[in-house]
Structure 1
């Protein structure tokens, strides 16, 4: 690599203000990451010597205000407009900070699925991928790198064929590499030849898609332009180091069918939510479920989770619930823990529904009050329901008055007279058949009154009335401010109190159930002024205390004036605020509870739901853990070849340093959004890999495609991987394990990092290091570069040149002929890209210096498989194939990769992105048409005014016509958004062009290419930008002529028939290379890469 090329790359991408050399960059980075002078010097020397380099964002941003040091991120894309555009916003922030993004779009409902909120239908994942692609166009990555995306769709998604064909036309989704996530089951069908088997029936179109259609679509796409790539779902999950955070083997966390779930429709049991979408309420906030709602996952052993406060839930042992890790006065820190891992004393988070909106349902407040009194102190008979009030104090009188008012809202006889006293008893009764009818409608029966499922599903108004009636009948206000005030509900029926407790929590009131006395016999008042011995049941109290008293008073309250007054008086005596409610319950027991049918749900985005009041996790089936990022770094293996062998001691020392370096990057990283920081620190994954592998093999004299070469590569990668694991173990002893260590695959071996090794793309940093990229073979040993003033010069691979001169020098030729032979070989490899057909060169030399295109595709796969054995993550590598490769060979390569244990693959057939023939017939230049410039505007012009919506404002767009064609345009913004001055300037510019002969179609066509992030984020926008909206209106005004109709406009055609379209770098115009799993290309001239 020449100094001028490196200098141009540094200046364009890495140098910050005040920096002049690569050493300045190394000093900045090492100073930011090293913990002391010795470590800083070690980091500096590793980079300065080009023995190790971190990913580009670290070189760019370490020690700067930006501080974002990660290269790659995975972001979840949920199935709702807010979640989709949150992901879009997060991706924009990541690209701005210098990172790349990976999205799995499989959670999005397929095209044609109903959208309940709009009564419309979904447009499917591909339409939203186009939005993401357009957004990436307008963001320059880190101000220095173009944003790059990976788009994934699972092979079992109904829109899989649309996804496979999404890049059929070159240029579509140009900011995406796309890959299909296939599972073992699909591959097994392919392997056994079951191509006619129906794999998917589209749920809305009814289209049946066979295994063969999908497989052939994948293979045909790869053959045509290298996409889609293929990812192997089961292999990825089998090697997942933290299976408890993601589905290495899907554990299907589940709950039972009788579990209560809070929804915007009101409380519902799981059995009522099977097979249909619903909006869950999570801590008072709505969140939409997946389209299938709850779904059965099998019949499994369940646990009974009980808390000291009374809350309980039946669930499978692997179902995560939200445990409180730390509770301070100002914050609550939580973590997800499997139910089977809970212990007595653990604190669990409950839902805080104080912000929950009212919900509809059965029962008015008046009806609810009467039923609450009936359940508390009443009798349900066959002919009527009887409500009872004891004593004749003021409180009882207020209750009687309120109950009678409520009763008169029901159907009643004309002679209904309300309450009547019972002779000889301190009791008054209200008897009404309408209350009986209401109770029976809510699931009660004589001898079986209580809180039924129908009552728990009642409206929020019904809740308020029911709970008030229940507390008026059986509730009391107890205590003092000194000892603590509480509102208590006394009952012998504990199941009734458990239901009341759930109902109160949905109103925002947390409570505790105490056992007040055991069952036995006691002397009690007989109602006639005396005492009598009665058999008594166990007695329980439900207690409301602390800040919950205020919520209870506001949302439920007493209608009993004495109780209400007592509560007010006691609360008024508090000299300081009541104890703050934290919505936490303490585990009392977790015990086996038999076997039941169990169910799960997806709630994209929040990934949680209300299960009997607990914050429970939903189904986590997503192949990539959301919000994870990875910091990457690569060791230059060529630097560790000495005296014809690999310097293992030096390599181990560098590996230990690199692990500490990358671990420090995590601590110093400034993440674009908090969720990424949390997820990254939870697993502390790093990605240490290699570059310069082919250079090292050349120095060792081992062909890339030889068994000997693969053997060395396997030994080297195993050494790096094992050393990295050892150093992470040492680091864990010094600094602690990664927070999600418990439940990981590391068992008792404490680790600082969940994963350590990968083979990442090294396009630009390998140019800085002057070595071959990653584990790829050399693409060409001679190629042309341009300098900053546009002059071209040849770059020769130094090892190739030195060995060529040695071999030719050993032929005993005269100096002039020797130099001519060297020049001949160099010119040949420069023109053809290979020396395999230079017969006068020794066969051993030609074999050693095979290029990526000379090497058989099977050897590419074998080499990737060798590295995959000793790499925790995936490998960025391209399987290069000749242009003559058939579809059958591509299919064979994918099958071979799957059987070899590779996690994913990219195939590039040479020329598949370059064989688009323009085939334009040369035309004689058309005579230029004289353009008549209109200098004077008539007093009156006819036109049309349109109201259009852009991303940030509404636009009034007036287009006036001259001779039936647009002649002038006026643009006015409406509302708080937009820029009036820019709109005015745009209108004047268009008008000037129109009046000077520029066809309006040119404006329409150009404006259609202008993208604005505000428009992309606004679903109501009628174009991609303000300019696009204006262009559409101009087109409409001109009698709806299409932009393809370019009347009297000469198009100068570039190139003649048969000209080949090449893939050129968008920054410098040099031809692109394809490798390291990137089908967007990498530029060897300036360092640009489409897959950074």
Structure 2
């Protein structure tokens, strides 16, 4: 493989990062964010970082050539040029991450699938079975896949087991294991993505629901609870609910009656507090699922992918593609605006055909992966789990040929038609769009069954009474009859997935979401000594920033269509007036009526055979009662899943004790910012500052860092204490009205108390001043993650103080449970605070990076 890559490198022209970026910048008409996202995430590159594509035109040619190659296997093939024109400029058909990066990629042995679900047959919860799942998820993540699996098969805590432990540890330790494995897997600089689910019927479901409340725990996974209709009826009618294990057993080994409303209140509170757990209305999913008509053949749905839009059976996978709805609006933002339904239906049918071609391309990728596994020099026993995993995935891809055709730019489409997102007329129009999507995609799949053959296990009698199939019948009787006669090419077809980074390249709103904001401010760091820059803001560490206005792309289109100057520098009053005149007014993610958005999702869900990834964004002051009401409305409206995100709910420090709901973060801050106690417990941390040995004393209040002192540890002016000393006390002494002295006291091995007087006198003045800054924010209750972000953002010309700064960071990092910095509210890639939460994903508006959960 290395020789092949070397030959390919020599044969093909390569581009520097700057060359590709500037060419992409021109392609995207000056949109730096879109250009950077394309170069970093989607341009073809090898493992050495050589870039082989200059613009997205090159990428779309690569995709079109490969899809056209598959088309030639079948009757009436589309040409490469036809396919290219459908994708060109991200205008109509937009393959999502896996297909976009993987199709025609000779430098990477990876799957084209965006998402997978894995699991053991039956209710196996042996250690062997659990370790097998752990290895399988890692193997999939290293091939770019997001993974979901269900934990309902694991026996509850305290259950007897036939090993030395005697009783089971329950779900939570395994949640931590799977989460930690996810965090270990890097995918081109990205972590893996994992969904863990459990049935509400499981006796340990309450522990599952609470597991992520403790800071630093289960940070590598999204969690969702599978809720059945019986539980929801028990909640609404105020009756008890019976949990059991096994959850589907006719003769369970264990049962427990619980107060359904009490557990429901906990789910609602945790979602209000931290945006998790997500909710999966499992009976709705199973009842509507066409693949579950084949449950006895291995297609029983058990969990979903990390963002919840694809419910899957074990070892099935899905590839994703979206149609850009905005592009079908003719004369946008004008009185003549109309949606071209004829062109749209034609393109949906072609999109479904392209998705079926991509399954053949995926099978080639899977064969290459298996070939690579076979060629590896490892012992066959070691390779067995990975090899069997891909054989199982291959089997499901051949038997079911599942696809994931979806849409994006719903918010911009509605605005371009003059419809306010969330209004009754806009909801009705959106439902009509998705009804047309379903009918056209299923028509395409039936037509392909005539030409290419139905998926191998198709059986009309199994499906005929499925509610989704009956809905299609009511809308198009001829489609139903043709399906009876010819079958269908694909077991399931449709989804609405997150399109966070791809929507940056379509330059539209994402998925079915409304616009986040039509106008917002962004900051860029600048050199204050540069005469050409404008300094609008200086932060707490002295860095200078320029603020500039960012307009949503289609808001600019609206301005141009209505004669507004897009080059003018508008003040805030003028901007507010502009927005009020636009179709985006009262139609942003924070403006829309939340109940209407849930109803909209439920109505659209009726025409999507998989599921929908969507987030209900709520203001910070939204109540728990509102969250509960939205969840109940989602269940009644026919949603398959729902996620709420209350503004800022992930910025605070979460604590394990959820019993005292009245305990607010403001009380924590008040406690920390009160008068310093005379004596604080302290930890001792040693580090190297260049060639010098340094020591840090971290004062603790309630086990949390409250202040930091540092000094030299190895010369006559330094702080000399035995290396065995790892803890002690910091004592505050008042010498006079104006002077405070801090001493450190520890016990020696003979039990005597030794005092080091005047820690502050041991400081270099510059170190002392920065330590005071760090101690100040610690004392006022800033989250440790944010303190670390602050320390990391300090930049010095002096190399020694930069090394000292790194030592302080290391000293504080031990108070993050997993030893890493989780930048709550800040982008992990660029540090910006311009994060938004959409479709189950955190998306940075500054650099375009995204992650689920």
Measured against the shorter chain, the TM-score band is: 0.5 to 0.7
**Cα 1:106–1:1000, aligned 2, differ >3 Å: closer, same or farther?**
farther
Partners of 2:112 and 2:729 in 1: how far apart?
Answer: 44
Which residue of the other structure, out of 49, 64, 69, is the alignment partner of 2:112? 69
How many angstroms apart in 2 are the aligned matches of 1:693 and 1:891? Answer: 27
Secondary structure (helix, strand or coil) at the match of 1:153 reads strand
Q: Which residue of 2 aligns with 1:166?
A: 211
Do the aligned partners of residues 200 and 216 (structure 1) sit closer, same or farther apart at CA in structure 2, a change above 3 Å counting? Answer: farther
2:170 to 124, 131, 136: 124
Which structure 2 residue ranges, 5 or more long, are not aligned? 1-27, 46-51, 247-251, 303-309, 332-336, 370-389, 465-482, 527-544, 654-664, 677-683, 700-722, 731-743, 747-755, 760-767, 787-823
Distance 2:97 2:729 in 1: 42
Q: For 2:637 and 2:144, how far apart are their aligned partners in 1?
A: 34
Residue 846 of structure 2 is matched in structure 1 by 1085
Alpha-carbon contact 1:629-1:680 (below 8 Å) kept: yes
Question: Which residue among 736, 745, 757 is the counterpart of 2:463?
Answer: 745
1:1000 is displaced (CA, Å) by: 12
Structure 1 residues 804 and 1084: CA distance shift in structure 2, 3 A:
same
Instruction: Measure how far apart 1:68 and its partner are.
Output: 1.1
- CA distance in 2: counterparts of 1:853 and 1:825, whole angstroms: 20
Does 2:97 match 1:56?
yes
Larger strand percent: 1
Q: 1:865 to 1:826 in 2, by over 3 A?
A: farther
Matched, 1:179 2:224: yes
Return the alpha-carbon distance in structure 1 between the equivalents of residues 729 and 322 of structure 2. 50
2:275 paired with 1:226: yes
Alignment of 1:638 onto 2:326: yes
Following the alignment from structure 1 to structure 2, what is the Cα–Cα distance between the partners of residues 48 and 752?
27
Alpha-carbon offset, residue 783 of structure 1: 3.3
**Alignment deviations for residues 46-89 of structure 1 (CA, whole Å, 9 cap, x no partner):** 22231111110111111124241110111115412222122111
1:974-985 equivalences under 5 Å are none
Asked if 1:996 is matched to 2:707, the reply is no
Equivalent residue for 2:430, pick from 706, 709, 713: 713
- How far apart in 1 are the matches of 2:274 and 2:285? 25
Which TM-score applies when normalising by structure 2? 0.65
CA contact (8 A) 2:518 2:584 kept: no
What's 1:659 paired with? 352
Matched, 1:676 2:431: no
Query: What corresponds to 1:3 in structure 2?
Result: 31
- Confirm whether residue 650 of structure 1 aligns to residue 650 of structure 2: no
Moved more, 990-999 or 108-117: 990-999
Name the SS of the counterpart of 1:996 in structure 2: strand
Equivalent of 1:625 in 265, 290, 313: 313
- Select the residue among 517, 520, 535 that pairs with 1:780: 517
> Does the aligned pair in 2 maintain the 1:242–1:744 contact within 8 Å?
no
1:746-765 aligned within 5 A: 748-749=484-485, 750-765=487-502
**2:456 pairs with 1:725:** no
Report if the CA contact (8 A) 1:856-1:881 is conserved: no
SS of 2:852's equivalent in the other structure is: coil
Judged with a 3 Å threshold, the aligned counterparts in structure 2 of structure 1 residues 214 and 169 are, in CA distance, closer, same or farther, namely: same
2-structure distance, mates of 1:71, 1:804: 37
Change (3 A) 1:168 1:744: same
Structure 1 residue 42 displacement after superposition: 2.3
User: Judging changes above 3 Å, is the alpha-carbon distance between structure 1 residues 41 and 922 closer, same or farther for their aligned structure 2 residues?
Assistant: farther
CA offset at residue 841 of structure 1?
6.2
CA gap of 1:115–1:1074, structure 2 versus 1, over 3 A, is farther
Deviation at 1:41, TM superposition (A): 2.2
Q: Establish whether residue 85 from structure 1 lines up as the match of residue 131 from structure 2.
A: yes
Instruction: Please give the alpha-carbon distance, in whole angstroms, between the structure 1 residues aligned to 2:235 and 2:834.
Output: 34
Question: Is the CA contact 1:1072–1:1081 (under 8 Å) kept in the aligned structure 2?
Answer: no
8 Å contact from structure 1 (residues 877, 1075) kept in 2: no
* 83 and 785 in structure 1: CA distance in 2 versus 1, 3 angstrom threshold: farther
> Please, which runs of 5 or more residues in structure 1 have no aligned partner?
247-319, 321-334, 339-603, 605-621, 810-814, 828-837, 925-964, 968-989, 1003-1036
Match of 1:106, SS state, is coil
- Tell whether the 8 Å contact from 1:5 to 1:787 is kept in structure 2 after alignment: no
CA contact (8 A) 1:686 1:756 kept: yes
TM-aligned CA distance change 1:186 to 1:127, over 3 Å: same
Alignment correspondent of 1:796: 551
1:241-252 counterparts in 2 under 5 A? 241-246=290-295
Structure 2 CA distance for partners of 1:337 and 1:229, relative to 1, 3 Å? closer
Q: Which residue of 1 aligns with 2:595?
A: 858
**Cα 1:123–1:764, aligned 2, differ >3 Å: closer, same or farther?**
same
In the alignment, the residues of structure 2 paired with residue 923 and residue 42 of structure 1 have an alpha-carbon distance, to the nearest angstrom, of 72
8 Å contact 2:57–2:89 — kept in the other structure? Answer: no
Hey, what's the Cα distance between the residues in 1 that align with 2:850 and 2:729? 33
Relative distance call for 1:13 and 1:1059 in structure 2 (3 A) is same
Using a 3 Å threshold, how does the CA distance of structure 1 residues 889 and 204 change in structure 2: closer, same or farther? Answer: same
Q: Deviation at 1:659?
A: 0.7
Larger CA deviation: 842-851 vs 909-918 = 842-851
Q: Match of 2:828?
A: 1066
Query: Does the C-alpha gap of structure 1 residues 633 and 806 become closer, same or farther in structure 2, counting only changes over 3 Å?
Result: closer
TM-score by length of 1: 0.51
Cα deviation digits, residues 1009-1047 of structure 1 (max 9, x gap): xxxxxxxxxxxxxxxxxxxxxxxxxxxx95997999998
Secondary structure of the structure 1 residue equivalent to 2:156: coil
1:40 pairs with one of 75, 80, 84: 80
Structure (1/2) with the larger helix percentage: 2
Contact 2:685 2:695 in 1 (8 A): no
**Aligned counterpart for 1:148 among listed residues 193, 197, 204:** 193
Task: Map 1:222-371 onto structure 2 (within 5 A).
Answer: 222-246=271-295
Change (3 A) 1:991 1:208: farther
Task: Write the distance in 2 (CA, Å) between the matches of 1:631 and 1:337.
Answer: 17
Measure, in 2, the Cα distance between the counterparts of 1:107 and 1:227: 21
Q: Quote how far apart the aligned CAs of 1:234 are.
A: 0.9
Deviations 1:325-350 (A, max 9, x none): xxxxxxxxxx7899xxxxxxxxxxxx
* Equivalent residue, structure 2, for 1:874: 611
Could you list the per-position Cα deviations for residues 695-742 of structure 1 after superposition, in whole angstroms to 9, with x for gaps in the alignment?
A: 011100000011111111111111111000000001111111112212
Deviation at 1:801, TM superposition (A): 3.5
Distance 1:1054 1:238, change over 3 A: farther
Which residue does the alignment assign to 1:27?
Answer: 61
User: Does the aligned pair in 1 maintain the 2:197–2:226 contact within 8 Å?
Assistant: yes
SS in 2 for 1:689: strand
CA contact (8 A) 1:201 1:208 kept: no
Among 670, 673, 689, the residue aligned to 2:406: 689
Distance apart, 1:889 and its partner CA: 1.3
Question: Which of 1 and 2 has higher RCO (CA within 8 Å, sep 6+)?
Answer: 1
Deviation, 1:888, is 1.4
What is aligned with 1:215? 264
Corresponding position of 1:101: 147
Distance in 2 of aligned mates of 1:1046 and 1:175: 40
Deviation digits for residues 213-267 of structure 1, max 9, x if unmatched?
Answer: 2101111111111111110111101111123433xxxxxxxxxxxxxxxxxxxxx
CA contact (8 A) 2:298 2:313 kept: no
Cα pair 2:202 2:243 within 8 Å, conserved: no
Aligned residue number for residue 824 of structure 1: 572
Q: Distance in 1 between matches of 2:524 and 2:405?
A: 32
Deviation at 1:794, TM superposition (A): 3.4
- Between the aligned partners of 1:169 and 1:709, the Cα distance in structure 2 is 41
Deviation at 1:169, TM superposition (A): 3.1
* Aligned-residue offset at 1:200: 6.0
3-state SS, counterpart of residue 515 of structure 2: coil
Asked if the contact 2:328/2:344 (under 8 Å) is kept, the reply is yes
Answer with 1 or 2: which has the greater Rg.
1
CA deviations 1:825-880 (Å, max 9, x no partner) are: 466xxxxxxxxxx5x56966477452110112112102211210110000000112
- Which residue number in structure 2 is paired with residue 313 of structure 1? none
CA shift for structure 1 position 95: 1.4
Go from structure 1 to structure 2 and tell me whether the alpha carbon gap of 1:1042 and 1:700 turns closer, same or farther (over 3 Å shift): farther
